[in-house]
Amino acid sequence: MNRRSVLVSIASVAAACMVSANAWAASSERPIRIIVPFAAGANSDVLTRMIAQRVTENGGPTFVIENRPGGGGTVGALAARKAEPDGYTLFAANSGTHAILPAIQNVPYDPQNDFVPVTPLFYFPHFLIVPERLPVKSAQDLVELSKNTPEGLTIGNQGIGTSGHLLGAMFEQATGGKFVHVPYTGGGGPMNIDVVAGRLDMVFSTYASLKQHADAGRVKFLAIASPERSAVAPEIPTLAEQGIPGVELDAWFGLVAPAGTPPEAIKKINEMFVNAANSPDIVERFKADGITVMTSTPEEFKNFIDREADRLKKAAEASNIRLN
C-alpha cells in the first residue's frame, strides 16, 4: 500500500468516526430506552420517569422506560450490557446492581467495565426504626437490649442481598449486638407492615415509607445510617454520632450506558439529565420524601461507583456475607 492509499484510509476512518460521533446528536427524534431493573410503579421507577419527562419537556428527546425486574437488578443489568452502544440505551444503575450484589455474589456482568457512567440522579438514606413498644430511645439502647435478650432481637430486611440485609449485618458486626435476621420477599412493604405491628424489633428502612407511622406514634426513628443528618429530619442523629461509626449505606440511583457508547452521547445525556434533575420543583418534591438529588460528571460518577464497590465489598467480607 502506497503513502497516498494510507492517507486516504486514515482520512476515511477519521470521517467515519466524526459521523459516528455526530449521528447521535443528529437523530434527536429517536427515543432513548431506559432499562429500569424494577417493576413499574416502584419508587425508583417513578422518580426516574419524572426526571426523564423533565428532560423531554426541556426540549430533549423522548424516553421509553423498559422495566426488567428480577434477580435483584441483574436481569435488567444484563439486558443493558448486551444492548447496542449507540447512545439510545441507558440503564438505571443503583447501589444494588453496581456495589452490593457484586460484593456478595457472582453477577453476569462487570459493573466497572461493561458500562460507562453518565450521572447519578438521586439517593435516599436508610433509617434505623423500631416499633413503639420497644423501651429504647437510641441506637445504643437498642444494642444493649439485644445483648440482654436471650433470643436476641429480630431485624427485618428487604431480602437476602439487599441494602437492608447488608446494613443489618454491618450494624451487628460494629456493635456486637445479638440479632436474628429476618429476610422478606416482595420488597420493603411486608417488612414495614410487621415493624409497625410490632412483630419485628427493628428495620433499616426509608423516611417516606414509615414517617406517617412515626407521626402516629407507632414506630420510632432512632438513627440515620448515613454520613450526615437528613435535611428533612435533622433531629434524627447519625449512627456515628451515637458511637457507632462506619455503618453507612445510602441507596443511590443513576444512569449508565453500555461500554462503547460514543463520548459525545454520554456528554450530551449527562448535560440534559443534570439540568433536569436540578430543577427547583423536582429538588423540593424529592426532599419532601427524604430523597436528595445528586448529579455529577461521568468521571466523578465512575470514581464514586468504584469507591462504593470497594467499600461494600470489604463490609460484606467483614460480615461474612456471600451468596455464591
Q: What would the DSSP string read from start to end of 255-314?
A: EEEETT--HHHHHHHHHHHHHHHT-HHHHHHHHHTT-EE----HHHHHHHHHHHHHHHHH
Q: Kindly state which CATH superfamily the domain 29-123+250-318 is placed in.
A: Bordetella uptake gene, domain 1 (3.40.190.150)
All structural domains of the chain with their residue ranges: 29-123+250-318, 127-242
Compute the Cα dihedral for 82, 110, 267, 261 and give only its sign. Answer: negative
Q: Where are the alpha helices (DSSP H) in 27-126?
A: 43-57, 74-81, 95, 101-104
Domain 127-242: top CATH class: alpha beta
Print pLDDT tens along the chain (324 aa).
444 444 444 444 444 444 444 555 545 679 999 999 988 988 889 999 999 999 999 999 999 999 999 888 999 999 999 999 999 999 999 999 999 999 999 999 999 999 999 999 999 999 999 999 999 999 999 999 999 999 999 999 988 778 888 999 999 999 999 999 999 876 678 899 999 999 999 999 999 999 999 999 999 999 999 999 998 999 999 999 999 999 999 999 999 999 999 999 999 999 999 999 999 999 999 999 899 999 999 999 999 999 999 999 999 998 888 887
CB 143 within 8 A of CB 247: no
Question: What is the signed CA dihedral for 96, 100, 106, 111, rounded to 10 degrees?
Answer: 70
SS3 call for 82? coil
Other Cβ atoms less than 10 A from the Cβ of 102: the count is: 21
Q: Are the folds of 29-123+250-318 and 127-242 the same?
A: yes
Other Cβ atoms less than 10 A from the Cβ of 214: the count is: 18
Grid cell digits, residue 212: 406517617
274-304: per-residue pLDDT in tens? Answer: 999 999 999 999 999 899 999 999 999 999 9
The length of the chain in residues reads: 324
Taking CA atoms, 276 is separated from 82, 166, 321, in Å, by 28, 32, 38
Containing H/E element for 66?
A: strand 63-67
Q: For 272, phi and psi rounded to 5 degrees?
A: -65, -45
Calculate ∠ Cα 248-254-257, nearest 5°.
135
Q: How far apart are CA 27 and CA 31, in angstroms?
A: 9
State the amino acid at position 53 in one-letter form.
Q
Ramachandran region, residue 187 (left: φ > 0; alpha: ψ -120 to 50; beta: rest): left
What is this structure's pTM? 0.85
